[in-house]
């Protein structure tokens, strides 16, 4: 391969092998002197080939694993709370999992450097969740079990990426396979002369045909080079395991929190489907195949994903690890910004969506709340009113029941309660506790103020007011622990443990039911919002009518999506003015309305594409 031959010409003969790890080039050497003093020559190589390169010692130079483990435990302070040390000898990597990663790295990186200098192994530092998480532990275990597969997969992927020359000409086409003039099943096909890339592949929960439309001439699964996942909500990632079961065997790019949260949602989706007597769209096999081929990136980390496309993730402000996707096509040919889902406003958890792009030719933006009247109240007023309702219920000895989505919304509520010095018990039911474990593993993805709290040992998810419900007996305990708050899935009362709580709490006037998220048409949550008070619930295998006497309150304004003002502000605050805007991820009227407004205000060509429409942007 041309790029490897070019590198070999510059490097000394002591290099034992050169391999790819995806878009990164790894040089292994048996020459200890070259390994320790290779910085200057590697800089020269990087300048010539314009690719990321790393030098590692050949495994023959490495200290024995038992000795390395002992040295690491001697070098790293006990306060770091190392949970596990795992070796990948073929890659010369030692993975160190610790609850306080800052102490493993050390001030100025001195502890990290000392580990490397004394052991020669490359330390890879990862945070252990502060709340035990079977999902995080299971994913990391699988990566280590599949180390040989992943090593070969990444090497072959690198060969594929670098086998073709970048073409700085030709077409770029977008085909909307889902999520156009609708909410759900987001899926965008991006085509260049060299590449075919899918951004997201979601579902519409509860719909028999609620998945991307693939039976069109433009789509061939065998031609897809990469899948990019923006964030872990099923309307964006719910179809990805199915694609792997259909035969896709390429890479999946996403942030590490998005991977962990996606797996949590995928496994729950399988379980809920099976419990409801419905054949799930995918099985554990699809989840495992996706995991084996996943490549995680940090925010602002640039990587080649095909021969003519570079990918960068940026904070979307939407959920933990949620990303605005930036695709750079060719050598400056075209820049696509995929900005959905996003929040251009500060929340307790996250900072606002990123806007400082050097170039934007095509912007793709959501319109979930894109109508003229979709303007949310001030967050401070929303939180104040929410706490007033909660405190009044506590004063009368009642229980607040909050149906909530397990990812983002539940955690936002928890931060509000902690911020307001709430002292009563808060019980968490469903997947929320597992999601919290994932959150505590990645505080670097929090907003700046929240991150500062976390590294100072004040992570709100560790507050003693939060109690886990993991059995029917613990639910009964929560019902008898008055006054208290119960946050439970699902968020729209369309299943999940929240219905068990509703059955028990509905007929007590002291209690309050608080809706904190969107209630879709046809769901039990929407029906109650509209005034339904004789609620059909299944008790002992029979559907009976339960008299809803508890107070019902809706908290508007906690959405993780931008409202209309924020969407327009996002476009206006981009440091590079787009040449065109495509408005998707909204009801038809909202997408059209927002597109017209963007065009009128900013004088930018704007359009709400239809399902299956293919548009050429270059």
pLDDT score of 167: 58
- pLDDT tens for each residue of 589-605: 999 999 999 999 999 99
> pLDDT at residue 73 above 90?
yes
- pLDDT tens for each residue of 119-176: 999 999 999 999 989 899 999 999 999 999 999 999 999 999 988 766 566 799 999 9
pLDDT score of 14: 77
pTM of the model: 0.95
Mean pLDDT of the chain: 94
pLDDT score of 166: 60
* pLDDT level of residue 9 (50, 70, 90 thresholds): confident
- pLDDT tens for each residue of 216-273: 998 999 999 999 999 999 999 999 999 999 999 999 999 999 999 999 999 999 998 8
> pLDDT at residue 91 above 90?
yes
pLDDT score of 15: 85
Rg (CA), the chain: 25
Question: What's the CA gap between 602 and 572, in Å, rounded?
Answer: 7
- pLDDT tens for each residue of 318-361: 999 999 999 999 988 999 999 999 999 989 999 999 999 999 99
Tell me the mean pLDDT in the region 429-434: 94
Q: What are the structural domains of the chain?
A: 2-58 (3.30.300.230), 62-128 (3.30.300.20), 164-373+561-616 (3.60.15.10), 381-554 (3.40.50.10890)
- pLDDT tens for each residue of 479-513: 999 999 999 998 999 888 999 999 999 999 999 99
pLDDT score of 6: 83
Tell me the mean pLDDT in the region 80-109: 94
Angle at 34 between CA 32 and CA 38, to 5 degrees: 135
Helix, strand, coil abundance in the chain, percent, nearest 5: 40, 20, 40
- Most confidently modeled range among 165-174, 275-284, 432-441: 432-441
Tell me, rounded to whole angstroms, the distance of Cα 351 from its chain centroid: 15
- pLDDT tens for each residue of 201-222: 999 877 778 999 999 998 999 9
With pLDDT > 70 as the criterion, what percentage of the chain qualifies?
Answer: 99
- pLDDT tens for each residue of 29-52: 999 998 888 888 899 888 888 889
> Is the Cβ–Cβ distance between 165 and 192 less than 8 Å?
no
Closest of 337, 346, 344, 342 to residue 366, by C-alpha: 342
Residue appearing with tokens 């999940």: 496
Listed in sequence order, the residues at least 6 apart from 326 whose beta carbon sits closer than 8 Å to its beta carbon are: 311, 312, 313, 314, 335, 336, 337, 338, 357
* pLDDT level of residue 72 (50, 70, 90 thresholds): very high
pLDDT score of 149: 96
> Is the Cβ–Cβ distance between 240 and 201 less than 8 Å?
yes
> Is the Cβ–Cβ distance between 475 and 501 less than 8 Å?
yes
> pLDDT at residue 469 above 70?
yes
pLDDT score of 220: 96
Six-digit token pair at 448? 């700046």
pLDDT score of 5: 82
pLDDT score of 45: 87
pLDDT score of 50: 85
- pLDDT tens for each residue of 389-428: 999 999 999 999 999 999 999 999 999 999 999 999 999 9
């Amino acid at each position: 391969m041309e790029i490897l031959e070019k590198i070999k010409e510059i490097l000394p003969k002591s290099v034992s092998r050169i391999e790819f790890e995806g878009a990164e080039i790894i040089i292994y050497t048996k020459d200890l002197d070259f390994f320790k003093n290779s910085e200057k020559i590697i800089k020269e190589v990087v300048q010539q080939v314009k690719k990321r390169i790393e030098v590692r010692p050949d495994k023959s130079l490495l200290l024995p694993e038992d000795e390395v483990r002992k040295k690491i435990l001697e070098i790293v302070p006990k306060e770091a709370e190392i949970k596990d040390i795992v070796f990948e000898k073929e890659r010369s990597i030692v993975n160190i999992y610790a609850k306080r990663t800052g102490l493993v790295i050390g001030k100025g990186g001195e502890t990290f450097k000392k580990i490397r200098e004394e052991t020669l192994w490359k330390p890879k530092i990862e945070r252990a969740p502060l709340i035990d998480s079977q999902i995080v532990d299971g994913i990391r275990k699988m990566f280590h079990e599949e180390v040989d597969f992943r090593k070969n997969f990444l090497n072959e992927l690198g060969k594929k990426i670098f086998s073709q020359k970048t073409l700085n000409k030709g077409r770029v086409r977008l085909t909307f396979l889902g999520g156009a003039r609708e909410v759900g099943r987001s899926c965008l096909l991006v085509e260049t002369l060299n590449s075919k890339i899918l951004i997201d592949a979601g579902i519409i929960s509860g719909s028999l045909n609620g998945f991307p439309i693939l039976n069109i001439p433009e789509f061939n699964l065998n031609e897809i080079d990469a899948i990019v996942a923006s964030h872990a909500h099923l309307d964006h990632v719910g179809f990805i395991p199915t694609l792997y079961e259909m035969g896709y065997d390429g890479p999946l790019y996403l942030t590490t929190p998005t991977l962990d949260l996606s797996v949590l949602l995928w496994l729950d989706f399988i379980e809920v489907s099976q419990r409801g007597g419905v054949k799930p769209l995918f099985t554990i096999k699809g989840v495992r195949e996706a995991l084996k081929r996943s490549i995680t990136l940090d925010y602002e980390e640039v990587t080649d994903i095909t021969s003519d496309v570079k990918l960068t993730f940026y904070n979307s402000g939407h959920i933990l690890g949620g990303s605005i996707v930036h695709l750079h096509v060719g050598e400056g040919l075209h820049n696509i910004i995929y900005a959905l889902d996003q929040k251009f406003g500060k929340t307790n958890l996250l900072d606002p969506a990123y806007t400082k792009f050097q170039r934007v030719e095509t912007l793709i933006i959501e319109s979930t709340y894109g109508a003229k009247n979709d303007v949310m109240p001030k967050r401070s007023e929303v939180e104040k009113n929410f706490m007033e309702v909660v405190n009044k219920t506590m004063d009368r000895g009642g229980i607040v029941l909050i149906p909530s989505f397990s990812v983002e919304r539940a955690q936002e509520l928890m931060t509000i309660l902690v911020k307001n010095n709430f002292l009563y018990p808060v019980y968490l039911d469903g997947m929320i506790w597992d999601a919290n474990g994932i959150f505590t593993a990645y505080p670097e993805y929090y907003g700046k103020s929240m991150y500062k709290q976390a590294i100072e040992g004040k992570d709100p998810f560790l507050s003693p007011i939060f109690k886990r419900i993991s059995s029917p007996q613990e639910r009964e305990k929560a019902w008898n622990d008055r006054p208290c708050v119960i946050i439970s899935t699902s968020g729209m009362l369309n299943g999940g443990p929240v219905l068990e709580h509703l059955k028990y709490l509905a007929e007590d006037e002291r209690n309050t039911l608080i809706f904190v998220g969107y209630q879709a048409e046809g769901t039990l949550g929407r029906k109650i919002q509209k005034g339904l008070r004789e609620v059909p619930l299944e008790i002992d295998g029979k559907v009976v009518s339960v008299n809803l006497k508890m107070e019902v309150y809706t908290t508007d304004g906690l959405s993780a999506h931008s409202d209309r003002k924020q969407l327009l502000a996002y476009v206006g605050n981009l440091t590079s003015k787009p040449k065109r805007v495509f408005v998707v991820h909204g009801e038809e009227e909202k997408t059209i309305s927002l597109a017209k407004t963007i065009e009128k205000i900013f004088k930018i060509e704007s359009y709400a594409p239809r399902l299956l429409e293919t548009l050429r942007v270059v």
